């Protein structure tokens, strides 16, 4: 509230809460650290799981940082920034979300100490940015180039991303599936590769064991199955027609009076009209058959008359196929998505070895498989429990993402806190060259990097002080670059030799994103929380569904 000529001047809505200066900054730091504490215990192979009762009473048990923060109903604005940090990391590289959040919180913790020494937030932010620029260059220098044909290295990368997820019995199987899936979906662009992980479809069904999870060289269409039970359920050497719009649209265009009105005055005219309509449907289906199609995928509903004719011609048909699935079918079968069935030719058809309908409980699914060099593939996940199937889906998504990152940037670093310890050592040396108070921020950045090996020790029940002392000592040796924390046996080992490997792209983004998030929070010196608006009288609120 402010006063103007002795009268109160209201700037904020009644009930609003405002925090300024150090109070606002400390409140944001506390909220950010609290979020990090929630996911901190999930980091590493010895990390613990979280049980969440999410929206609509869904029970989720996971140690995936991105899933935990996404499902939490976070209210505090600074805490929301940390949740957004995890979301961005997950969307961009698919892994390293917990690392990013823990590092960001540690940067804020170190910044809090500097704030107590009356160092201005902008100086701290500038020091962090100087440090991250150097760290990024050092990361690139330290990284090791990987041969994309070396399946053993790729397998180690995939297995590293799966550690601590509770699927150790099937990790080799999942790693092989992930490598094969990414290799199929990878697209050569110039001197490198591009991988859109949306081209790798993940479909899960409860039943059988983890080792029954399989890679389908093609696409799994939907839960509806074939449109008519009398149609073929199995077609070999399939020629697939992909028609985006409903057959009824083509039918309407062929009708007499299209775009105008038709007046029917007696039953004979109606009979003639229906007869003409049947002839047009026959003409449309004949056009599809003439093109050579024996499987039809339609983006909308298929008319019952058309279904009957397709059945008589021995054509398998699936209706209401999603646009995203149609695109995957096009990339898998090399077929062209046609808007009007009257325009279809044999050159528009896709091909595959087999199209078949499979039944799983009450669900029917159509498998378009055995495609030749498909650019879109599917992983069919099997597990004995629904929650386990959900976790396997998250595990495979992470595994696919790290392999895709290596394809898009073929450089790797060692995990287990090794790269963070080496960067911390080198950034400290760089800090000695920095003039001014920014030097303290650069040193704080180096200390914050060690939060990762320290957290790995804590989660494994090891003494973090003793381990960190040994870790720092091992990195003083010129051959100790890849020395990291052995969480299973204790002590320090060469992580590169042990096969604990991570993509450079994941580490780069985790460190950059952590600094950006911490910088945004440190720049805020005023927080205004407006009261929630109450619904007006007469306004009804209904639950979804």
Strand 411-414 versus strand 219-220 pairing type:
unpaired
Residue 355: closest CA among 320, 308, 383, 314: 314
Q: What is the CA angle 300-306-310, rounded to 5?
A: 105
SS3 category, 235: strand
Strand 350-360 versus strand 363-369 pairing type:
antiparallel
- In sequence order, which residues have a C-beta less than 8 Å from that of residue 45 and are 6 or more positions away? 163, 164, 460, 487, 488
Number of H helices, E strands in the chain: 18, 23
Q: What is the CA angle 424-426-430, rounded to 5?
A: 110
Q: CA dihedral in degrees (504, 201, 199, 367; nearest 10)?
A: 150
Strand 295-298 versus strand 492-494 pairing type:
unpaired
Token pair, residue 407, equals: 């394809």
Separation between Cα atoms, residue 128 and residue 125, nearest integer Å: 5
Separation between Cα atoms, residue 501 and residue 496, nearest integer Å: 6
Which 8-state DSSP code applies to residue 346?
G
SS3 category, 139: helix
Q: Which residues are catalytic?
A: 64, 97-98, 398
Separation between Cα atoms, residue 388 and residue 239, nearest integer Å: 37
Separation between Cα atoms, residue 378 and residue 380, nearest integer Å: 6
């Amino acid at each position: 509230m402010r006063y103007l000529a002795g009268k109160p001047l209201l700037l904020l809505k009644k009930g609003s809460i405002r925090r300024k200066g150090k109070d606002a900054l400390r409140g944001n730091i506390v909220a950010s650290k609290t979020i990090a504490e929630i996911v901190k215990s999930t980091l590493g192979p010895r990390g613990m799981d979280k049980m969440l009762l999410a929206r609509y009473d869904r029970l989720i048990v996971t140690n995936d940082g991105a899933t935990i923060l996404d499902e939490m109903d976070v209210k505090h604005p600074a805490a929301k920034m940390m949740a957004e940090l995890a979301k961005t990391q997950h969307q961009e590289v698919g892994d390293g979300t917990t690392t990013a959040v823990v590092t960001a919180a540690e940067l804020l913790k170190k910044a809090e100490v500097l704030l107590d020494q009356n160092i201005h937030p902008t100086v701290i932010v500038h020091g962090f940015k100087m440090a991250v620029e150097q760290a990024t260059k050092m990361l690139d220098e330290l990284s090791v180039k990987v041969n994309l044909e070396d399946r053993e290295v790729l397998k180690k990368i995939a297995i590293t991303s799966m550690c601590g997820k509770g699927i150790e019995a099937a990790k080799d199987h999942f790693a092989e599936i992930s490598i094969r899936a990414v290799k199929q979906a990878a697209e050569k662009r110039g001197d490198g590769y591009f991988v859109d992980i949306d081209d790798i479809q993940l479909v899960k069904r409860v039943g059988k064991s983890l080792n029954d999870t399989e890679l389908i060289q093609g696409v799994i269409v939907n839960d509806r199955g074939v449109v008519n039970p009398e149609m073929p359920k199995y077609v070999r050497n399939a020629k697939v027609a992909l028609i985006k719009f409903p057959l009824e649209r083509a039918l309407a265009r062929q009708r007499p009076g299209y775009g105008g009105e038709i007046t029917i005055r007696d039953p004979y005219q109606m009979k003639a009209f229906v007869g003409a309509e049947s002839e047009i449907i026959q003409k449309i289906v004949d056009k599809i058959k003439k093109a050579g199609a024996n499987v039809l995928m339609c983006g909308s509903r298929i008319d019952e008359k058309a279904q009957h004719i397709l059945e008589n011609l021995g054509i398998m048909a699936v209706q209401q196929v999603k646009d995203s699935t149609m695109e995957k079918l096009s990339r898998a079968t090399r077929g062209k998505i046609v808007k009007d069935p009257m325009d279809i030719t044999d050159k528009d058809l896709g091909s595959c070895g087999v199209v078949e309908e499979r039944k799983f409980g009450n669900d029917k699914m159509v498998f378009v498989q055995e495609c030749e060099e498909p650019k879109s593939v599917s992983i069919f996940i099997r597990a004995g429990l629904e929650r386990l199937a959900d976790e396997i889906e998250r595990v495979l998504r992470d595994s696919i993402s790290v392999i895709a990152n290596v394809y898009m940037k073929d450089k790797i670093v060692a995990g287990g806190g090794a790269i963070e310890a080496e960067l911390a050592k080198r950034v400290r040396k760089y800090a000695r060259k920095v003039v001014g108070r920014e030097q303290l921020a650069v040193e704080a950045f180096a200390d914050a990097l060690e939060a990762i090996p320290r957290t790995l020790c804590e989660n494994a029940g090891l003494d973090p002080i003793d381990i960190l002392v040994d870790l720092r000592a091992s990195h003083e040796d010129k051959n100790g670059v890849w020395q990291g924390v052995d969480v299973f046996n204790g002590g320090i080992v060469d992580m590169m030799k042990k096969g604990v490997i991570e993509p450079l792209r994941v580490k780069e983004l985790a460190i950059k994103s952590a600094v950006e998030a911490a910088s945004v929070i440190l720049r805020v010196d005023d927080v205004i929380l407006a009261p929630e608006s109450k619904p007006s009288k007469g306004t009804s609120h209904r639950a979804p569904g």
